[in-house]
């Protein structure tokens, strides 16, 4: 497993072993600097080498990179992340795309769906992700009613996501009804990722988060929509919540990459939410989510242990406390010597 990391920003800290070259100077030594403390600790996955600086030859992922990956049959890994720290972790793991998704409305803000999310919300979270300076292409979701009202408003809002949020592309949900919007965005030099199938912004029209494309007519419409979106200028397409056979048919009919979520193994890539794949979110359990860790229980246990140590007085101990600066000998002391 190869992990890439640049010196800026530094690798995440956690209670494992010191990285090579870390200063072993104990806390509370001369100077009393508030930055004094235990040596930085970094996590190295079992059996892997330490996180290392990304090779200078590794270039920023862009739209052309993804198209080239599709042509040579290389799968694309995409993660939905919402802040600086999660973006750093995704970058260290080497994912090719980061989606600043409107699912932040549910995962971060605690709403029941994505509809309350605003352009300002996406701008704010996109800025945080981009501050991590990831190698991955950062795609920002266009939230509900940010592109449906008019083409002019869609271009203005997408422009904000690139100018203020520093995203490198935008994603919109829907099919043939938004072809003019896709065309206008691409004409404005804004890369567009499409999204068909289960489109969460249509939750009320669908009557809930339901699998789409199971009937012959709806499957045919999705295949047609996918082709139309490619011709309108989309550089990639998210296929969500559709039968895997249909996802394979769509993928084979296109020349742009498809990214699946609940769409089976035949897409050109996959996307999962950061909190889902790490087991941080445990309230929502869709079938398509695979947990690669169970951090929710780990975090609860860690905070519970912290609370117990605070209650008992075990924390902080002297190893986590600052000492006084060494007293300098007075002039009289030196003369006595």
For the stretch 231-289, pLDDT in tens is 999 999 999 999 999 999 999 999 999 999 999 999 999 999 999 999 998 877 788 99
Asked if residue 177 is part of any domain, the answer here is yes
The reply to whether 171 and 104 lie within a common domain is yes
Let me know whether 171 and 82 are in one domain: yes
The answer to whether residue 53 scores a pLDDT higher than 60 is no
pLDDT of residue 336: 61
In degrees, to the nearest 5, what angle opens at C-alpha 267 toward C-alphas 165 and 155?
30
The per-residue pLDDT for 335 is 64
Token pair 């600066």 is found at 325
Please report which confidence band the pLDDT of residue 325 belongs to, taking 50, 70 and 90 as the band edges.
confident
Q: How confident is the model at residue 32 (pLDDT cuts 50, 70, 90)?
A: very low
pLDDT recorded at residue 52? 44
316/208 same-domain check:
no
| Percent of the chain scoring above 90 in pLDDT | 76
Q: 146 lies in a domain?
A: yes
pLDDT digits (tens, 9 = 90+) for 221-233: 999 999 999 999 9
175 and 310 co-located in one domain? no
The more confident residue out of 22 and 146 is 146
**Residue 143 reports pLDDT greater than 70:** yes
Whether residue 183 is found in the same domain as residue 328: no
DSSP sequence for 237-266: EEEES--HHHHHHHHHH-SS-EEEESS-TT
Residue 76 in any domain: the answer is yes
Number of domains in the chain: 2
Domain-embedded: residue 183: yes
Whether 77 is in a domain gets the answer yes
> Is 252 labeled as catalytic in the residue annotation?
no
Residue 209: Cβ-neighbour burial (10 angstroms; 0-12, 13-18, 19+): middle
Contacts of 23 (CB under 8 A, 6+ apart): 39
Same domain flag for 21 and 70: no
Within a domain: 283: no
39: domain range?
A: 4-51+295-336
- 141 and 262 housed in the same domain: yes
Average confidence (pLDDT) over 190-209 = 96
Range 306-326 average pLDDT: 95
- Which residues have a Cβ under 8 Å from the Cβ of 35 and sit 6 or more positions away? none
**Nearest-angstrom CA–CA distance, 300 and 306:** 10
**Which residue out of 96, 230, 240, 249 is catalytically annotated?**
240
Assess if residue 33 is contained within a domain.
yes
Inter-axis angle of helices 151-163 and 179-187, nearest 10 = 50
CATH number, residue 63: 3.20.20.60
């Amino acid at each position: 497993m190869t992990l890439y990391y640049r010196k800026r920003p530094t690798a995440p800290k956690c209670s494992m072993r010191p990285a090579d070259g870390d200063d072993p100077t104990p806390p509370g030594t001369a100077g009393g600097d508030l930055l004094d403390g235990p040596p930085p600790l970094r996590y190295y996955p079992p059996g892997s080498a330490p996180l290392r600086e990304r090779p200078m030859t590794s270039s920023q992922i862009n739209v052309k990179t993804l198209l080239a990956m599709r042509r040579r049959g290389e799968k694309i890994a995409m993660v939905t992340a919402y802040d600086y720290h999660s973006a750093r972790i995704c970058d260290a793991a080497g994912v090719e795309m980061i989606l600043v998704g409107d699912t932040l409305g549910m995962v971060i803000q605690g709403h029941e769906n994505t509809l309350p999310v605003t352009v300002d919300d996406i701008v704010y979270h996109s800025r945080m992700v981009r501050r991590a300076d990831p190698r991955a292409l950062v795609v920002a979701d266009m939230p509900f009613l940010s592109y449906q009202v008019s083409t002019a408003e869609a271009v203005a809002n997408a422009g904000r996501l690139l100018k203020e949020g520093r995203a490198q592309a935008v994603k919109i949900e829907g099919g043939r009804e938004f072809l003019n919007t896709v065309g206008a965005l691409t004409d404005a030099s804004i890369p567009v990722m499409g999204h068909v199938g289960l489109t969460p912004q249509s939750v009320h029209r669908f009557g809930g988060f339901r699998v789409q494309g199971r009937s012959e007519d709806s499957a045919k419409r999705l295949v047609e929509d996918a082709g139309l979106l490619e011709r309108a200028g989309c550089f990639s397409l998210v296929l969500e919540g559709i039968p895997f056979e249909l996802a394979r048919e769509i993928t084979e009919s296109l020349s742009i990459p498809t990214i699946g979520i609940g769409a089976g193994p035949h897409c050109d890539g996959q996307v999962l939410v950061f909190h889902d794949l790490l087991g941080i979110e445990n309230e929502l359990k869709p079938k398509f989510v695979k947990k690669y860790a169970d951090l929710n229980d780990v975090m609860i246990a860690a905070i519970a242990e912290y609370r117990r140590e605070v209650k008992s007085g075990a924390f902080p101990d002297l190893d986590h406390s600052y000492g006084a600066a060494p007293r300098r000998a007075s002039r009289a002391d030196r003369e006595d010597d």
